[in-house]
Structure 1
Amino acid sequence: MGRVARCKKILAFFRNFTILFPCVRNCEKEEKKMRFDEAYSGHVFIGASPDYEKSRVVLYGMPMDWTVSYRPGSRFGPGRIREVSIGLEEYSPYLDRELAEISYFDAGDMPLPFGNPQKSLDMIENYVGTLLDDGKFPFGLGGEHLVTWPVIRAVYKKYPDLAVIHFDAHTDLRTDYEGEPLSHATPIRKTAELIGPANVYSFGIRSGLKEEFEWAERNGMHIAKFEVLEPLKKVLPALSGRHVYVTVDIDVLDPAFAPGTGTVDAGGITSKELLASIHAIARSGVNVIGCDLVEVAPVYDHSEQTANTASKLVREMMLGWVK
């Protein structure tokens, strides 16, 4: 059969197909009617608005784990947090608020270039800068903790009085890791050098080099070892009136509560204490102007315990910190 004859046969097939199934001809017209709620497909966080312009918060994924030194996989964290959010109640009995009271847009995951940390970080910084210019509250999902660094750079340009609250198992105060300055072990050191060590408040820290702890003490950085809630309560009054960014590494939790992360570290806090800490910030009146939650690695999260916990944390952070 020649080429022309084959084409005619194919066209005839599709003409007959549309006669038998007329909805095919009207697929564009019927698309909205036939499309299911994206939240039930795991594509967006539950309750997200499709309207960027009218939304106060923009939830965005930073699926990067290019510099991870131990267990990779956190680039899949943002997607899994969205997927499990369908099991989440939209009402918070802690705060007596529900997600319908705030408007948030889920932008999806950024198309970061695989294996190119510098270009990825530049893309994140530019994107967050645009969000801030548009008056949005940026809420990032990681991804390894290095993704916080370009966000801080963007936020600091807008808010030069910035203070950072950091929940983590690790100091993240190295200048480099195996000679590489762009590493998941360096974002808080970079942050401290940018905004000043005295403007960085780290909580739950239980792992790091001796030199990192010594550097923090020598330079006036605030580090609370092992605990979060009580030392946090003591410093919140000093942050009143400041613009504050909060970064939460899921491994601040004990592995019993969050096994699905790249660098687990025993002796962490409970999920109850982390929730109470989020609520303490909410009730303090501190002006939170952006936040992120990072390091969920689904491949190690066999019961989805970590992702479900992270999803609940996202709800509480939004309801508690976005006015």
Structure 2
Amino acid sequence: MDGEQAPGLWERPGRFMAAEAGYDAARWVLAGAPLELTVSYRAGTRWGPARIREASYALETYSPDLDRDLEEQAIHDAGDVALPLGNLGQSLARIEAALRRPLADGKALLVLGGEHLVTLAAVNAALDRYPDLVVVQLDAHTDLRDRYLGEPYSHATVMRRVLDLVGPGRLWQLGPRSGLREEFELARREGRFFRDVGEGAEALAAELAGPLRGVPVYLTVDIDVLDPAVAPGTGTPEPGGPDFATVQRAIYTLARAGARVVAADVVETAPPLDPSGRTEIVAAKLVREILLAFAPAAA
């Protein structure tokens, strides 16, 4: 990060709007993880980080719903993690290594994906500092398969691997409407599962006021949680999802409840699949709202 990270670990394709702070002064650190090695239907997620950054300049820095402005936040965009093409193990290891330092330094972290498997590397890094981490997933898919096409590491198995890490009861899934019967059974048995995004957010908010007060939260948002009419540019679109306002309200519900989001990601944006360009703008606005809704307190 600006010469402070290991040589060769980062590359800089652009910068998210208003992310002008140096690393030392930053409270939020943005990092791109342009991973695309296990997608199973349509490709394009490797272009997500760069195009989300580009699309951010079509938006304002000010959120009227939150009455907050990115210009008032200390945000550092570290660039993209440089990934070795075709090597999944090394790619995940490099993402984890790159993200570990800002988390260890107490920065809040937001990752731009890339396919959903980047969440596994980010959660691994976060657990070093936050061993009691709770993971909150907004997604159209359960992603709880133990193997997909014989492979344990896939965008279709990512939350199973995360569940292996955090343990029963520490994975909240909001919005899944697609998966195997066995995945839904596992979700209900070992996690906290809500088909309705708003209902899930309200249930989690109630626990954030009680047994989960102050617990560190990792928030992962798969863009396909939204209905494809809202965000068609994603690899595995699933009809029947919520609109943008519903997902936005869920994020606000968690913020009002005092969710201590220490890290987050927005993943599975595949810009080449959406010639209209609206998916990357939707993703950029989600990033803006997350940065503002969960802005860390000033040091």
Q: Could you say whether these structures have the same fold, taking a TM-score greater than 0.5 normalized by the shorter chain as the test?
A: yes
Q: 1:290 corresponds to which residue?
A: 263
Cα deviation code 1:182-241 (max 9, x no counterpart): 11111111111111121000011000011111222333x11111x201221122221322
Cα deviation code 1:82-124 (max 9, x no counterpart): 1111111111111100011111111111111111111011111
Q: 2:194 corresponds to which residue?
A: 224
1:74 and 2:45 aligned: yes
Q: 2:102 corresponds to which residue?
A: 131
Q: 2:63 aligns with which of 62, 68, 92?
A: 92
Q: 2:140 corresponds to which residue?
A: 169
Instruction: Tell me, yes or no, if the aligned pair for 1:197 and 1:216 is still in contact at 8 Å.
Output: no
Q: 2:36 corresponds to which residue?
A: 65
Instruction: Tell me, yes or no, if the aligned pair for 1:204 and 1:252 is still in contact at 8 Å.
Output: yes
CA–CA distance in structure 1, aligned partners of residues 189 and 200 of structure 2:
19
1:110 and 2:87 aligned: no
Instruction: Tell me, yes or no, if the aligned pair for 1:250 and 1:296 is still in contact at 8 Å.
Output: yes
Q: 1:260 corresponds to which residue?
A: 233
- The aligned amino acid for 2:251 is I
CA–CA distance in structure 2, aligned partners of residues 52 and 255 of structure 1:
36
CA–CA distance in structure 1, aligned partners of residues 23 and 88 of structure 2:
28
- The aligned amino acid for 1:283 is R
Give 1:51 deviation, angstroms: 1.2
Give 1:276 deviation, angstroms: 0.7
Q: 2:291 corresponds to which residue?
A: 318
Please state whether the residue corresponding to 2:55 is helix, strand or coil.
helix
Please state whether the residue corresponding to 2:149 is helix, strand or coil.
coil
Q: 1:156 corresponds to which residue?
A: 127
CA–CA distance in structure 1, aligned partners of residues 30 and 128 of structure 2:
20
Q: 1:235 aligns with which of 192, 204, 221?
A: 204
CA–CA distance in structure 1, aligned partners of residues 189 and 213 of structure 2:
25
Q: 1:246 corresponds to which residue?
A: 219
Q: 1:29 corresponds to which residue?
A: none
Q: How does 1:4-15 map to 2 (within 5 A)?
A: none
Q: Which moved more, 1:253-262 or 1:45-54?
A: 45-54
- The aligned amino acid for 1:262 is G
CA–CA distance in structure 1, aligned partners of residues 247 and 185 of structure 2:
26
Q: 2:276 corresponds to which residue?
A: 303
Q: 1:277 corresponds to which residue?
A: 250
> Could you list the runs of 5+ residues in structure 2 that have no partner in the other structure?
1-12
Q: 1:197 corresponds to which residue?
A: 168
1:54 and 2:55 aligned: no
Please state whether the residue corresponding to 2:60 is helix, strand or coil.
coil
Instruction: Tell me, yes or no, if the aligned pair for 1:64 and 1:143 is still in contact at 8 Å.
Output: yes
- The aligned amino acid for 2:170 is N
Give 1:72 deviation, angstroms: 1.0
Please state whether the residue corresponding to 2:151 is helix, strand or coil.
coil
Please state whether the residue corresponding to 1:87 is helix, strand or coil.
coil
Give 1:247 deviation, angstroms: 0.2
Instruction: Tell me, yes or no, if the aligned pair for 2:204 and 2:254 is still in contact at 8 Å.
Output: no
Q: Which moved more, 1:49-58 or 1:166-175?
A: 49-58
TM-score by length of 1: 0.85
Give 1:134 deviation, angstroms: 2.0
> Could you list the runs of 5+ residues in structure 1 that have no partner in the other structure?
1-41
Q: Which moved more, 1:298-307 or 1:209-218?
A: 209-218
Please state whether the residue corresponding to 2:175 is helix, strand or coil.
strand
CA–CA distance in structure 1, aligned partners of residues 117 and 229 of structure 2:
24
Please state whether the residue corresponding to 1:290 is helix, strand or coil.
strand
CA–CA distance in structure 2, aligned partners of residues 312 and 224 of structure 1:
24
CA–CA distance in structure 2, aligned partners of residues 316 and 235 of structure 1:
19
CA–CA distance in structure 2, aligned partners of residues 205 and 169 of structure 1:
4
Please state whether the residue corresponding to 2:57 is helix, strand or coil.
helix
Q: 1:208 aligns with which of 179, 197, 204?
A: 179
Name the structure where helix makes up a greater proportion of residues.
Answer: 1
CA–CA distance in structure 2, aligned partners of residues 312 and 292 of structure 1:
13
- Larger relative contact order (C-alpha < 8 A, sep ≥ 6)? 2
Please state whether the residue corresponding to 1:205 is helix, strand or coil.
coil
CA–CA distance in structure 1, aligned partners of residues 28 and 167 of structure 2:
27
- The aligned amino acid for 2:60 is E
Give 1:50 deviation, angstroms: 4.7
